[in-house]
Amino acid sequence: MDPNVDPHPDSVVGLDNAKAEIALAANALNDPNRFLPYKPWRTFLLHGVIGSGKKLFAQSFSPKYDVRIIHASIVTVNVGHVSGLFAWYTALPESRVIILNDVEQMLGVGSTLVVHPTAKSELLAAINCFRDVLVIGITRSPWLLDEAVLRHFDRHLHIHLPNHPNRVQMVCQKISPFTHEIHEADVWDMMQHFEDISGSMIDDAIRGVLMYKYQEARGATHFRKVEGQGGKLWACNEEDLGSEKYNYTQGPWRVSLNPITIADLTDFLRLIVRGSSPLKEAEEKHERWNAKPFQGEETGESLKAASQSADEIFHVQF
């Protein structure tokens, strides 16, 4: 798992319903008798548009970095050994979650990967064999999966694009470690012009702003001291008050990146949105697919009703 990922569901903005359902399944897995006669959820299929945060969300359910990710390319080169691969992962200390990334590609659907004819049966058999772990499948195209595959996932969860408050929270959370001159009210106003964007697009915009600030510092010939920053320098124009001639290479440790402004962030978001495929249509397609009846939902609702209190739903105990 990526060591930079904060291993807790609260580190992921929004998705409260999905968090509650997987947390409840984790508790049921630890103490299945408490929920009898209902069969606990154990396998989940997360679906959503590209960049919606499906894998990040799945990774966050591991307080001790015990998530194991199986990629489509691993399955295709280990045909005949998929069950052994599962066994090896589940034998590792604290391993309680297995993520199947890009399920449709593992099965050779909508993919250029060459998949062995037995890959599907092996994968489904492996999912059935290991009953003491949560299995989370991830897909961008759930409508490509046949009923046999879908039945092996107890619960289908749509990972939505972030709504307006969630987008604002994401931006404020991600820029907080850096010097900036942005207020939450500014972000709120800006995000009214950026509907139907993904969390990864917000990440890309902030990364782009930071790279721009770095290049600005590298190419500057004049700097000024920043008050209260221990003599740190900001890039400026030659005619600016307090400017002095300085080169980044003379001492990069003295240079601080200029603060991020709301104009910077707006410009980069516009660039990214302009260069990306529209997500609204894809999001609506996922909504329509998720709205169709699924046989596991009745059991799921009964399992919710069997829970002792709302508090335990949100209390993950791996």
Q: Are strands 43-47 and 134-139 parallel, antiparallel or unpaired?
A: parallel
What pLDDT shows up at residue 301?
47
What pLDDT shows up at residue 205?
93
Q: Are strands 222-225 and 97-101 parallel, antiparallel or unpaired?
A: unpaired
Q: How far apart are CA 144 and CA 283, in angstroms?
A: 16
What pLDDT shows up at residue 17?
73
Q: Mind listing the domains of the chain with CATH numbers?
A: 9-161+279-307 (3.40.50.300), 164-274 (1.10.8.60)
The residue whose two tokens read 């009745």 is: 298
Instruction: Answer for the pair 222, 244: CB distance below 8 angstroms, yes or no.
Output: yes
What is the number of alpha carbons within 13 Å of residue 113 lying toward its C-beta? 22
Instruction: Answer for the pair 195, 163: CB distance below 8 angstroms, yes or no.
Output: no
Spell out the residues 6+ positions from residue 200 whose beta carbon is closer than 8 angstroms to its own: 50, 51, 52, 53
What pLDDT shows up at residue 302?
45
Quick one: which of 137, 263, 269 has its CA closest to 198? Answer: 269
Spell out the residues 6+ positions from residue 258 whose beta carbon is closer than 8 angstroms to its own: 179, 213, 216, 217, 234, 235
Q: How far apart are CA 135 and CA 85, in angstroms?
A: 14
Write the DSSP symbol of residue 220: -
Edge-to-edge strands, sheet with 97-101: 67-71, 97-101, 134-139, 43-47, 155-158
pTM for the full predicted model:
0.75
Q: For 204, phi and psi rounded to 5 degrees?
A: -65, -40
What pLDDT shows up at residue 51?
83
What pLDDT shows up at residue 166?
87
What pLDDT shows up at residue 316?
38
> Which run of H or of E encompasses 225?
strand 222-225
In tens digits, the chain (318 residues) has pLDDT values of 343 444 455 556 667 777 777 777 777 776 767 777 777 778 889 898 888 888 777 777 655 446 666 666 655 544 445 555 555 555 554 556 778 888 887 777 766 666 666 777 777 877 777 667 788 888 888 898 888 888 888 888 888 888 898 899 889 989 998 989 999 999 999 999 998 888 889 989 999 999 999 999 888 999 988 877 677 889 999 888 888 898 888 888 888 889 999 999 999 999 998 877 778 888 888 888 888 765 444 444 444 444 444 344 333 333
Please give the angle made by the CA atoms of 164, 167 and 168, to the nearest 5 degrees.
Answer: 90
DSSP letters spanning 83-104: HHHHHHHHHSTT--EEEEESHH
DSSP letters spanning 10-34: GGS-S-HHHHHHHHHHHHHHH-GGG
Spell out the residues 6+ positions from residue 58 whose beta carbon is closer than 8 angstroms to its own: 46, 67, 97, 99, 136, 138
Cα distances (Å, whole numbers) of residue 309 to 22, 41, 283, 306: 15, 18, 33, 9
What pLDDT shows up at residue 42?
81
Q: Over the range 272-308, which residues count as b (16 or more CB within 10 Å of their CB) and which as e?
A: bbeeeeebeebbeebeeeeeeebebeeebeebbeebe
